[in-house]
Amino acid sequence: MAARARANREGSIFPYRNGYAAYVWVTKPDGKRTRKYVYGKTREIVHDKWLKLHQQAKAGPVATKSQTFATYSAYWLEEIVKPNLAPSTYAAYEVACRLYIVPGLGKKKLSPPTSEVQRWINKVGITCQCCAQGKDARRPTKKRKCCGIGQCCNSRLSSNSLAHLRRTLRTMLSQAITEDLITRNVGSNLKLPTVRVRRRKAWDSDDARKFLESAREDNDPLYAAYVLVLVLGLRKGEMLGMTEDAIDWAGWDSDCVQHRVSFCVDCVAEYEVSIQVRAQIQRIGKELLHRDTKTPTSDGGLPLPSICAVALRQRHLDLARDRDSTGPLWRGIPLLFTTRFGTPYEPRNFNRYWDRRCVLAGVPRITVRDARRTCGTLLADLDVHPRVAMQILRHARFSVTMEIYTMVSSKKTREALKRLGHSLE
């Protein structure tokens, strides 16, 4: 007697080619009803898939066609990320998709087995990216020094870069789940090596004072910029994107003759001056953008201490002299910090000027971001309330101020241990 093709109440399971197939009526994301098929070599495999498909159909809309990583990533970048997120975020996601996700997973469906994606990211982590992307091969023959001449430089991705890859994959697949294209996010379960956080650096008050004194004595045109970074903790982009009208000189004594040719300390002491942070300069690919600040909490006004007000007033006077001396060559961009022709400073060029000033001042080299951290640390040394420090640094979360941008100085540590030792004597 021939075996039954279908068991009881399994009318949608049937023999198909070299195995079995089944279908379930589902509702697609666009609201239309249609059949969705599942396949397998044995009846048991198809039966399990059929049951899961029934559960998905009861839970909500089900996509009948699964897109590949290549097609969906292109849609996600252009329609979701680019119109709605910051240009820097789009640039970072686009690089991750173009160089790593699409070459490794581009032809696969959006919901592959987790083990398959885990093997992919493990392989990316141990692969020399200079070889994989042909970086050395694209150089002129005389300048090739590693992979192009058969000497692998073993240039691998860092733990932070792998974490960024996982974050990009997870964010993209979360959007696919929102659009009912898949039901699970394989990027959420990937295991990666522990990220070793780089030991952060910060100056003490003596180093910061020495740095600023060196810039002031040399009449460095970026002295006011250094003051804003160290005293107010401005981000590099916020400082470079500061416009002339961002400073409120209300109350400044216009009848004072001295401040027209120099800066007047008496005026600074008598009148309050404030600054509004509301824009930033960012280099994104080939574009130098003057755009909104990092977050809404980054916008805000800050009162200027006398050291900042004096430095900025001098910068206004220097800017006016540069504008007059340059004449028709002046570009007319209303930024506070510009080159002698009125063009914005490149963020990377500012890094070079900063590093050179560190050498001239004879202080340990730190990055501009570490200077912002120095501001938070010096505020902590002065026993400024953490909430006030959070307001000055304009952070959205209190934990960022305390855990990332505030360090305990060695001086404070020594004092604490000294007091502890005295208490135990």
Per residue in 120-173, pLDDT (tens digit) is: 999 999 988 888 888 888 888 888 888 878 888 888 888 889 999 999 999 999
Domain termination site, one of 189, 217, 246: 189
Do 24 and 92 lie in a common domain?
A: no
Lowest mean pLDDT among 183-192, 264-273, 319-328, 367-376: 264-273
Average of per-residue pLDDT values in the chain: 81
- Please tell me whether residues 149 and 278 are part of one structural domain: no
Does this model's pTM top 0.75? no
> Rounded distance, CA 185 to CA 192, Å?
16
The pLDDT value recorded for residue 405 is 63
CA distances from 409 to 29, 172, 366 (A): 57, 41, 15
Residue 267 and residue 182 share a domain: no
For position 124, which CATH number holds? 1.10.150.130
Structural domain of 78 = 69-189
Domain contains 196: no
Domain-embedded: residue 337: yes
**Is 319 in the same domain as 240?**
yes
> In 3D, which of 305, 241, 300 has the Cα closest to residue 273?
305
At residue 183, the pLDDT reads 77
Residue 8: per-residue pLDDT? 47
Domain identity same for 253 and 210: yes
Please indicate, yes or no, if residue 394 is contained in any of the structural domains. Answer: yes
Q: What is the pLDDT of residue 261?
A: 43
- Label residue 329 by pLDDT band (50, 70, 90): confident
User: Are 387 and 410 within one domain?
Assistant: yes
**Which range is least confidently modeled, 196-200, 257-261, 365-369, 410-414?**
257-261
**pLDDT given at position 354:** 93
Domains of the chain: total: 3
Contacts of 351 (CB under 8 A, 6+ apart): 236, 367, 368
The answer to whether residue 64 sits within a structural domain is no
Three-state DSSP at 158 gives: coil
Residue in 342, 330, 333, 354 with CA at minimum distance from that of residue 228: 354
- Based on the domain organization, do 29 and 83 belong to the same domain? no
φ and ψ of 274, to 5 deg: -130, 165
With the CA atoms of 418, 419, 421 and 424 taken in that order, what torsion angle do they form, in degrees rounded to the nearest 10?
Answer: 170
Together in a domain, 52 and 76: no
Q: Is residue 143 part of a domain?
A: yes
Same domain, 115 and 221: no
Q: Are 326 and 333 in contact (CB under 8 A)?
A: no
3-state secondary structure of 199: coil
* Of the residues 189, 221, 244, the one at which a domain ends: 189
Q: Is residue 40 domain-resident?
A: yes
Residue 252 neighbours by CB under 8 Å, 6+ apart: 259, 267, 271, 273
* Helix/strand/coil percentages in the chain, nearest 5: 55, 10, 35
Residue 374 has pLDDT above 70, yes or no: yes
- The phi, psi pair for 7, rounded to 5°, reads -80, 175
- 7 occurs within a structural domain: no
Dump pLDDT digits (tens) for 82-108: 999 988 899 999 999 999 999 999 899
Vertex 73, ends 39 and 187: CA angle to 5°?
70
Domain membership of residue 282 (yes or no) is yes
Let me know whether 231 and 345 are in one domain.
yes
Task: Give the pair of three-digit tokens for residue 123.
Answer: 């392989």
Q: Are residues 402 and 374 in the same domain?
A: yes
CATH number of the domain encompassing residue 286 = 1.10.443.10
Is the pLDDT at 15 greater than 50, yes or no? yes
Q: Which residues contact 244 (CB under 8 A, 6 or more apart)?
A: 316, 319, 334, 335, 336
CA distance 121 to 69: 15
**Cα–Cα distance, 117 to 126 (Å, whole number):** 15
Note whether 387 and 317 are same-domain residues.
yes
Greatest Cα pair distance, the chain, in angstroms, is 114
